[in-house]
Chains A and B, each alone.
Chain A
Amino acid sequence: MSGSQVPVDALQRALAAEHAAIWVYGLVAAFVSNALDSQLDEAATAHQARRDATERVLIDAGAPPVPPEPGYLTPEPVTDAASALRLAITAETDAAAAWRSVIERSPADPGLRGAALEALTGTAVRATRWRATAGATPLTVPFPGAP
Chain B
Amino acid sequence: MLALQQTGVLARWPTVSGVGPHRRRVLTAGATLLLAGPAALTGCTLSAHAPEGPDPLEFPARRAEADAALATTVARAHSALAAAAGALAADRMTHATTLRAELRRARPGSTSRSASPSAVPPPVAAPPANSDLAGARSALTQAMHAAQDEAAGLVMTLPGYRAALLASVAACCASHAALLS
A interface with B by C-beta (< 8 Å): 1, 3-6, 8-9, 12, 16-17, 20, 24, 60-64, 66, 69-75, 89-91, 93-94, 96-97, 100-101, 103-114, 116-117, 120-121, 123-125, 127-129, 132, 138-146
Contacts and interface: CB of A to CB of B under 8 A. Distances in A.
Nearest to B158: A108
Interface residues of B, number: 58
B169 interface: yes
Q: Tell me if B's interface is mostly helix, strand, loop or mixed.
A: helix
B115 interface: no
A135 to B, nearest CB: 12
Contacts of A8: 13, 15-17
Interface string B1-39: 111111110110111111111110111111011000000
30 contacts: A4-B19, A4-B26, A9-B15, A12-B10, A16-B6, A24-B4, A63-B13, A63-B14, A64-B13, A72-B4, A73-B7, A90-B1, A90-B4, A93-B3, A94-B3, A103-B163, A106-B160, A109-B26, A109-B156, A110-B28, A120-B171, A121-B170, A125-B174, A125-B178, A129-B178, A132-B179, A139-B87, A142-B90, A143-B172, A144-B172
B1 A60 contact: no
Nearest to B11: A66
B171 A109 contact: no
Interface of B: 1-8, 10-11, 13-23, 25-30, 32-33, 87, 90-91, 94-95, 98, 148, 152, 155-161, 163-165, 167-172, 174-176, 178-179
Contacts of B21: 3-4
Given A62-B19, A128-B175, A116 B167 contact: yes
A121 B179 contact: no
Given A4-B21, A61-B20, A108-B163, 11 more contacts: A3-B27, A6-B19, A73-B4, A91-B4, A93-B3, A104-B160, A109-B28, A121-B171, A124-B174, A140-B87, A141-B172
A125 B175 contact: yes
Contact of B164 (A89, A94, A100): A100
A86 to B, nearest CB: 9
A104 B164 CA distance: 5
B29 A69 contact: no
Q: Tell me if A's interface is mostly helix, strand, loop or mixed.
A: helix
B152 A117 contact: yes
Contacts of A144: 168, 171-172, 175
A120 B28 contact: no
A117 B91 contact: no
B8 to A, nearest CB: 5
